Amino acid sequence: MNRHHFSAVFLGIALFAQTCAHAQGTPVVQGPEAVADWFRAGQAFIEQSKSLHDNNRRAKNVVLFVGDGMGISTITAARILEGQLKNKSGEENRLSFDRFPYTALSKTYSWDQQTSDSAPTMTAMATGYKAREGMLSVNHTTARGECSAAVIDAKKIRTVLEHAAEMGKSTGIVSTARITHATPAALYAHTAMRDWEADSNLPTTDINTGAPCRGAEGAVKDIARQMIEVSPQVRKSLKVALGGGRTYFMPSTVMDPEYPKDKGRRLDGRDLTQEWVTSRAPYGQASYAWNKSQFDAFEPANNSYLLGLFEPSHVQYEADRANDPAGEPSLTEMTDKALRVLLKDPKGFFLHVEGGRIDHAHHAGNASRALTDTIEFSNAIQRTLDVLKNSGTLEDTLIIVTADHSHTFTIAGYPSRGNNILGLVREVPAKDGSPLKNSLDANGRPFTTLAYTNGPGARPNGRPDLTNVDTTHVDFLQEATVPLAAETHAGEDVAIYARGPKAHLVRGSMEQNWIFHVMMEALK
């Protein structure tokens, strides 16, 4: 039987089944597709797949997107929510990176953790080596709490950003977390403790040797200082750093310009925001921005370097950003501006973009903010595709989208199609035409589709009656099984999506550190 004959027979059977269903009553839950659409979509996928070909050219540019804590369940739920916000059922929706042609699974364990934190997971992607818990871009022989700059220098591992700088390419970092936080910091800093973000975070003495640490000659530099005092190649290369964490760059004698009750965290009296400007001046026009108007005033055509620190700590969640007192740019806007700076370099660039607050919302047990930030992360990826296409460099750019780890975030029950992803579970009724009703637990109480294995959403007095609770409210905390002050990471694989030069090397089940090797293979 040829394909066209098979298609005709299939459509005939499907139409007969549809007629019988109408005779028995109309299902209360209906998808938007006609019967034949499912078959046609499958055939279209096959034809698109046949047209794929390996892109073996050298990548001029590499963009690494990391959704911090963006496990597969987060991607699924965000995909549905985005679709439902467009007044569709949601399940058929696709996030921007869902359309990438190459995918794989990433094994996220670190050298000493089954379920990892962001420091070793980003170190794996940034350097090609599995590392220890809490450590940034140093090898696994480094002692915990190592405070000696000489030892750290001997054990540091070069990152993809440092390699790109040595190739003469421009580089950039964008994050909704503090720019000194683990994921972005792993690209430019080398330290045994991810928490050493300002000098006030350094210990007084080395826990291993008792030698002086904070402020001592020969002691490791804090992360903010490392970003300013990078190697000459990286200093010239690092054109854009946008995110939060400005108090880590400010002296403790200076009050924050946006929140007068906050002050700088630096004990050494240095204003690293101004040092950024002066240290980059020999290479081009440099600026510092801490609010939206200053950010908007920075024109990439006339400027070469931009440091933007828009909050004392992490930037606002996307759901709350409009209420920021001084205004702050979205992740999409920061990514757009970074690209327009970096695209000026004829040698190409490396850019890292982190959706850092996906992770923080999950730790808080707050699915609404986590999913909203995931949607904004997807928007930033779409903007990148548009900007690169318009500049004629899309096919010369390797783009990888992945996560450092997942969370204990679940999608459960048997909710009907189109059921509000943030709402209570309502199952498909047993008889067509019957209304939807809340699914009930063993005690006769409804429950939500989304939940956490552990975290602050655990109710100490047992499950509450959610019948009249607005579980879609942005502040609602999904229920959790194990009570913890903060929800934890989870240890299952996360997804990798890729397109562009050498993207076909992303395949199957991968060790997380192999992502570095794919990027370097594309660049070299």
Active-site residues, by number, are: 118
Strand partners, 296: none
Strand partners, 469: none
Can you tell me whether residue 424 is helix, strand or coil? strand
Are 441 and 447 in contact by the 8 Å Cβ rule? The answer is yes
Find, among 264, 290, 261, the residue nearest to 201 by Cα.
264
**How many beta carbons lie within 10 A of that of residue 44, not counting itself?**
10
**CA–CA dist 298, 440 (Å, integer):** 55
**How many beta carbons lie within 10 A of that of residue 386, not counting itself?**
14
Task: Retrieve residue 488's tokens.
Answer: 């934890």
| Cβ density class 284-295: b for 16+ within 10 Å, e for less | eebbbbbbbebb
**CA–CA dist 116, 120 (Å, integer):** 7
Phi, psi of 353 (to 5 degrees): -125, 125
**Residue 438 CA to its chain's centroid (Å):** 33
Are 44 and 507 in contact by the 8 Å Cβ rule? The answer is no
